[in-house]
Each structure stands twice: as C-alpha cells, then as structure tokens.
Structure 1
Amino acid sequence: MKKSRKPYNDRTDLEKLQSQWWKLSGLNSREEWSAAVVRAATAAEIAANIAIRSEFQSIGSFPSGFVDSLLVWANGLKGKLEKLLVPITKDTERAAAISGLNSLGLQVNNIRNGIAHRGEFCSRAKAQDAIAKAKEFIEGIVRLYEPGFQLKEREP
C-alpha cells in the first residue's frame, strides 16, 4: 500500500523546500526549463522564509501570524531579501554570508521574473545556470540556520 503524502500546507518550510526541489527535478527531466526555473526560484524564496523566521525567533517571541504578515508584505524573494533578511542580519555574524548570497538570490529572481512577468522562455543552458545558482543560494542560506542541510535529489 502506498503511503499517503502529508498535505503541502501541513509541511514544515524545510519539507516544502525539498518538495519544490523534487518537483523541479521532474520538470527538468521533461525539459520544461522555464517551469523548472520558476520552481527553483520558489524554493529560494522558501529558503529566505526559513532564514527570516529563524532570525525573528533569535530576537524574541514574535507571533507567527505577525512574521507571516511580514513575509507577505515583503512580496517575493527580492523583497524578502532587501526588506527583511539583509536588514535584520545587518549587525550579526551572518551578515557577510547573507550579503554574499544575496546577489545569487537576486539573479535567480530576475530570471524568474522574466519568465513569470514577461513570458520569456529559458534555454537548457540558462535554466541549468539559474538552477545551480538557486541551489548555491538555498544551501548557503539554510545552512546558516540548519548546518547539516543539503538538498536531496529525487531518485529516478
């Protein structure tokens, strides 16, 4: 009997992140380059959510609804990085690492926006480059808070 999956909305952010990455693998194998990039960017945004939630937890006790409202207000990966993550980590030991990863996240976000907002298509090479940048961003950001984290590739 096949084990039923946990509903997406009941998953943790780490589980959602991994689900997005697995979905991306399937899109990639079907040569759906643009859709795979959109999934990679979604995974990057979830990684930013993990970092932002962790930063708010380290500062104090903020209601999850309040943090969720900030994540919605920040509107997308660029907003989450520029309005929340970079400012909240400014004077922490993670500031330099986040600053270095920020440009990777913004590059992935720009490619995603080209697909989602301007109807652009990705070539295989452009998609693979964007996905590699997303993976570096995701693992770099999440490892600041979950040191052993590594994206798992879906087995064929």
Structure 2
Amino acid sequence: MKKSLKKENYLERNDIAKIISNWNKVQGLYSRKEWSSVIIRAATAVELSANFVIRKELEGERNLDSDFVNHLLRWANGIQGKFDKLLLPIFKGTDYYNELKKLLKQVQDINKERNSVVHNGQFKRKSTADKIVLESEIIINTLVSRYEDYFDLSEIYGKESLKDSKK
C-alpha cells in the first residue's frame, strides 16, 4: 500500500490515503526521535480522520454539496473546532455522539500539544509524543472504523505499529 501512495499526488488522494500517508510519516519521525514533529503529524492524521467522517455524513448521507462541506471544514478550523462545531452537532442524539464525547479529553490533549509546538515553538519529549500517538490512534480508529469496518492502524502497520514498539 505504501508504494501506491508515493506514486499518487498527495492532493489527489482520498481522506483514507492521506490518513495512512500521515501515519506512515508519524512512524518515520518516531523512529528518528523527532518528538515535536511526531505530535504535529499525529494531530494532522486525527484532523484528516475528522474530515473523513464529516464528509461521509454531510456529503454521503445528507447529500450536501462538497464545496459547502469544504467551506464548513475550513470554518471549523482544527481538531477541536471540527469536534465542537461539526462532529458533535452532526451526531447529537445518537449513540455515536456519546462515543465522540468520550474522546473529547484526548482531542483536547492532542490539540493543546500540537498548538504548543506550532504556535509557541515548544520542544516535546518522548513521553508526550507517546501519549499523543496513542490517543491519536484511538481517535483515528474510532472515527474511520464507523465507515471502514476493518480499518485499524495497528493492523495496517502490523508489527511496526507504534503502539507495539513502545511495549
């Protein structure tokens, strides 16, 4: 799968391919001990997974125009915004809403750590990167598996999974 991602222009990839590509980058950065960059890429993969769910619901289920959905994604801006302004309102009154609410603390952690690197130039430690990677993996798997039954980052990467390498 990694081979085909490299051949395809990033901007032409679908959301799942972008998530996997970013997660692959997380793995490379992790192996090079670039903890701050790991956090940024993991957060990016989470945001892409939120985009995926929002597009599936608004374009696929509710038949809204893709230009309008893209406008909403820009308006919501960031992981926290997409959860607070789009995902939670979209799923309000459903069982999935309750599942998303359980992820809010992790979303806040990821958003905070990402912003401290990007906006304040902070350098991060391995322990922080480990926490963010694990939280990101949980969120991504929860979001994407709603529409892609067999999606699991650990299974995609097998023994190379970051979760497994920390044991």
Q: TM-score range by the shorter chain?
A: over 0.9
Can you list the C-alpha shifts for 1:94-132, whole angstroms capped at 9, x where unaligned? 111111122212211111011111111110111111111
Aligned equivalent of 2:152 = 150
- Within the candidate set 65, 73, 78, 2:67 is matched to 65
Query: Is the deviation greater in 11-20 or in 115-124?
Result: 115-124
Query: Is the deviation greater in 16-25 or in 97-106?
Result: 97-106
Aligned partner of 1:74: which letter? A
Identity of aligned residues (%): 38
Q: What is the CA–CA distance in structure 2 between the aligned matches of 1:59 and 1:5, rounded to whole Å?
A: 31
3-state SS, counterpart of residue 17 of structure 2: helix
Q: What is the CA–CA distance in structure 2 between the aligned matches of 1:93 and 1:125, rounded to whole Å?
A: 33
- Within the candidate set 120, 127, 132, 2:129 is matched to 127
TM-score, length basis structure 2: 0.86
Aligned equivalent of 2:164 = none
TM-score, length basis structure 1: 0.92
Can you list the C-alpha shifts for 1:112-154, whole angstroms capped at 9, x where unaligned? 0111111111101111111111111111111122221112238
Q: Which has the higher helix share?
A: 2
Aligned partner of 2:112: which letter? N
* Number of residue pairs the alignment of both structures matches: 154
Larger relative contact order (Cα-Cα within 8 Å, sequence gap ≥ 6): 1
Aligned equivalent of 2:22 = 20
RMSD: 1.7
Matched-pair contact (CA < 8 Å) for 1:55–1:89:
no
- Within the candidate set 72, 92, 95, 2:94 is matched to 92
3-state SS, counterpart of residue 148 of structure 1: coil
Matched-pair contact (CA < 8 Å) for 1:48–1:80:
yes
Matched-pair contact (CA < 8 Å) for 2:15–2:48:
yes
- Within the candidate set 135, 138, 162, 1:136 is matched to 138
